[in-house]
Amino acid sequence: MNREEIIEKLKPIVEPFVNDEEAFANLTDKTNFITDLNINSANLVDIILDVEDAFSIVIDNESMEKMTDIENTIAIIQTKQAEK
Amino acid sequence: MKNRVVITGLGIVAPNGVGLDAFTNAIKNGISGIAHDAELERLKFSCQIAGTPTISEALKRKYFTELELRNFNSTGILYGVMAGLDAWKDAGLSIDINDNPDWDSGTIFGTGTSGIEKFRESIYKIDDLQTRRLGSTAVAQTMNSGVSAYLGGKLGLGNQVTTNSSACTTGTESIMMGFERIQQGKAKRMLVGSTSDSGPYIWGGFDAMKVCTFKHNQSPENGSRPMSASASGFVPSSGAGALVIEDLESAIARGARIYGEILGGNINSGGQRGEGTMTAPNSVAVQKCIVDALADANVKAEAIDYINGHLTATSKDALEIKNWSEALNRKGTDFPYINSLKSMVGHCLSAAGSIETVATVLQLYNGFIFPSINCDDLHPEISECVAVEKIPHQLIEKELNVVIKASFGFGDVNGCLILKKYAIN
């Protein structure tokens, strides 16, 4: 999957947790879930579970720790999909 | 000098009515909230009738965000938050989001257990090696203090935020604890009350103990029969009741409507000594609780106009009446009016004390006594103590001045409150 395809699939997963709509509308690779989108850190695990279901992948603890912004999230999804 | 404490807000989520208007109408008209429960039948419970509040998905969304409702299945928190926020609004208080905590307001909101459906779901996942898939709210929904934590966050409460637990005394105890906190000047205002989950996983243990009726699976509305000779066990139910209580000065300063004053009360335990056990009350302690509550409130037994009983529809009802009669030293036509809300809503377990206190306050404020249904065949030991006209089968319109409410729970624990109509001096 390329970057655009992943972002299109990622957006509806992240949207319910977003507390800064403007940052979400102007999403970039550097957008951080917590500092930019103002997502409650406890909800990151919910996003990761939904990502696992949507992309049919399993995200290990080490990768999970890195899933804090869009760029890393795309990279991890691509890596996990390649491993399948 | 202790602060005077008054009741300024009420909220209710009961099997026979959600919201004050629906509930008031139901209790005035003797409308039962007990229904056949298909899930209990499927699971082969002995008792297949129960009381569950009816709440639409649209109504839930007036209290919770879509995000909060994701993977949310804690009925106890649902009921407690609804009743709590309703009481807050009923008291004329704002639910707007402020930046700073409200240091003067807190909550003591009790429950027996929290999110038992969520707990069950989590246990299955853990045993299936899926702990990592529990999601972010398994803790908030299953911690006992979940209900007070949700309420504290929604209202921005900055005083004490906690959950008490004392079986069927829980609701009455929460009011007493909030009352004492305000009396002592440690808070100006407390949201007090209690809640209880619905469903087989909360009710199963009682079914196994054979304390629930199995004789009315085909006639649910006749199943809960407090004070009746044919009472055959309680009907399990659920819901939440909430009260905003505050110091009199604060209530007057903001021009709040005052439903009544809490004069005093008592909490004690029979220590599971004498005739008291884990499940049976020690009558010495029950009577002491009532007598000590009167002393705390500085009220004489003859001033009591009305008793809201615990009266569950088990064989212990006659003993409870005897204890009231002896503690108050009143019997026959001199016995105060008495009824049991459980005749209409069943036994709401940890929510019982608060739901029944809301019903008590509504009667005190509006001047009526609701009918105690399903007791046309009064238990003979009860009619020995109480003149039949003191147990209404039809609504009685009557001004009440001083009323008393008690709850008794597993663990041999007791709670008793004394409320008075508020008169502007």
- pTM (two decimals): 0.96
Q: How many domains does chain B fold into?
A: 2
Q: Do B355 and B341 touch, CB atoms closer than 8 A?
A: yes
Instruction: Report the amino acid identity of residue A59.
Output: I
The alpha carbon of residue A46 is apart from the nearest alpha carbon of chain B, in Å, by 5
Among residues 47-66 of chain A, which lie with CB inside 8 Å of chain B?
Answer: 49
If asked whether residues B218 and B275 sit together in one domain, one would say no
Question: Are A49 and B133 a contacting pair at CB < 8 A?
Answer: yes
> Given this model, what pLDDT does residue B95 score?
86
Query: How far apart (Å, rounded) are the C-alpha atoms in residues B311 and B332?
Result: 18
The alpha carbon of residue A78 is apart from the nearest alpha carbon of chain B, in Å, by 21
If asked whether residues B32 and B153 sit together in one domain, one would say yes
> Given this model, what pLDDT does residue B367 score?
98
If asked whether residues B135 and B238 sit together in one domain, one would say yes
Nearest to B414 by CA among B285, B317, B262: B285
Residue B259 lies in a domain: no
Q: Do B119 and B142 touch, CB atoms closer than 8 A?
A: yes
Return the residue in A19, A39, A43 with the most chain B beta carbons within 10 A, the one to mutate for interface testing. Answer: A43
Quick one: which H or E segment has residue B269? strand B260-269
Model confidence at B402, pLDDT cuts 50, 70, 90, reads very high
Return the residue in B132, B134, B137, B141 with the most chain A beta carbons within 10 A, the one to mutate for interface testing. Answer: B132
Mean pLDDT of chain B: 97
If asked whether residues B285 and B210 sit together in one domain, one would say no
Query: How far apart (Å, rounded) are the C-alpha atoms in residues B300 and B48?
Result: 43
Residue B397 lies in a domain: yes
* Final residue of a structural domain among B201, B228, B253: B253
If asked whether residues B225 and B308 sit together in one domain, one would say no
If asked whether residues B228 and B283 sit together in one domain, one would say no
If asked whether residues B175 and B277 sit together in one domain, one would say no
Residue B425 lies in a domain: no
Cα angle at B296 between B293 and B301, to 5 degrees? 55
Residue B192 lies in a domain: yes
If asked whether residues B150 and B173 sit together in one domain, one would say yes
- Model pLDDT for residues B307-365, shown as the tens digit of each residue: 999 999 998 999 999 999 999 999 999 999 999 999 999 999 999 999 999 999 999 99
Model confidence at B303, pLDDT cuts 50, 70, 90, reads very high
For A52, which residue in chain B has the nearest alpha carbon?
Answer: B133
Of B66, B67, B135, the CB nearest to A49: B135
Query: How far apart (Å, rounded) are the C-alpha atoms in residues B159 and B98?
Result: 15
> Given this model, what pLDDT does residue B97 score?
79
**Which CATH number fits the domain that encloses residue B295?**
3.40.47.10
Residues 6+ apart with CB under 8 A from B280: B316, B412
If asked whether residues B248 and B305 sit together in one domain, one would say no
Q: What is the DSSP letter of B215?
A: S
Q: Does B135 touch chain A (CB under 8 A)?
A: yes
What domain range includes position B80? 5-253
Residue B13 lies in a domain: yes
Quick one: which H or E segment has residue B21? helix B20-28
Of B66, B67, B135, the CB nearest to A45: B135
Mean pLDDT of B151-178: 98
Return the residue in A19, A45, A53, A62 with the most chain B beta carbons within 10 A, the one to mutate for interface testing. Answer: A45
Cα angle at B180 between B179 and B182, to 5 degrees? 70
Checking if the pLDDT of A70 tops 90, the result is yes
Q: Do A2 and A82 touch, CB atoms closer than 8 A?
A: no
Residues 6+ apart with CB under 8 A from B74: B114, B115, B117, B118, B141, B142, B146, B197
- Model pLDDT for residues B89-126, shown as the tens digit of each residue: 999 999 887 889 999 999 999 999 999 999 999 999 99
Domains located in chain A, CATH noted: 3-83 (1.10.1200.10)
Residues 6+ apart with CB under 8 A from B277: B412
If asked whether residues B272 and B387 sit together in one domain, one would say yes
Q: Do B356 and B211 touch, CB atoms closer than 8 A?
A: no
Residue B258 lies in a domain: no
B66 interaction partners in chain A (CB closer than 8 Å): 16
> Given this model, what pLDDT does residue A55 score?
96
* Final residue of a structural domain among B198, B221, B253: B253
Percent above pLDDT 90 for chain B? 97
Question: Are B136 and A42 a contacting pair at CB < 8 A?
Answer: yes
Question: Are B70 and A16 a contacting pair at CB < 8 A?
Answer: yes
Q: What is the DSSP letter of B376?
A: S
- Model pLDDT for residues B203-252, shown as the tens digit of each residue: 999 999 999 999 999 999 999 999 999 999 999 999 999 999 999 999 99
* Phi, psi for B288 (deg, rounded to 5): -65, -40
Query: How far apart (Å, rounded) are the C-alpha atoms in residues A82 and A75?
Result: 11
If asked whether residues B44 and B147 sit together in one domain, one would say yes
Kindly give the interhelix angle for B317-328 and B283-297, rounded to the nearest 10 degrees.
Answer: 40
- Model pLDDT for residues B244-268, shown as the tens digit of each residue: 999 999 999 999 999 999 999 999 9
Checking if the pLDDT of B425 tops 80, the result is no
Name the residue with tokens 């009921």: B79
Checking if the pLDDT of A41 tops 80, the result is yes
A16 interaction partners in chain B (CB closer than 8 Å): 66-67, 70
Query: How far apart (Å, rounded) are the C-alpha atoms in residues B251 and B362?
Result: 18
Quick one: tokens of A12?
A: 């509806």
Question: Are A16 and B66 a contacting pair at CB < 8 A?
Answer: yes
Nearest to B169 by CA among B346, B386, B361, B411: B411
- Residues B194-204, buried b or exposed e (16+ Cβ, 10 A)? bbbbbbbebbe
Checking if the pLDDT of B424 tops 80, the result is no
Query: How far apart (Å, rounded) are the C-alpha atoms in residues B17 and B27?
Result: 9
Quick one: tokens of A53?
A: 């279901």
Give CA B271 to chain center in angstroms: 23
Among residues 58-97 of chain B, which lie with CB inside 8 Å of chain A?
Answer: 66-67, 70-71
Give CA B201 to chain center in angstroms: 20
Residue B261 lies in a domain: no
Residue B395 lies in a domain: yes
Of B66, B133, B136, the CB nearest to A43: B136
* Final residue of a structural domain among B253, B285, B315: B253
- Burial grade of B266 (CB within 10 A; 0-12, 13-18, 19 or more): buried
If asked whether residues B122 and B169 sit together in one domain, one would say yes
- Burial grade of B142 (CB within 10 A; 0-12, 13-18, 19 or more): buried
> Given this model, what pLDDT does residue B98 score?
82
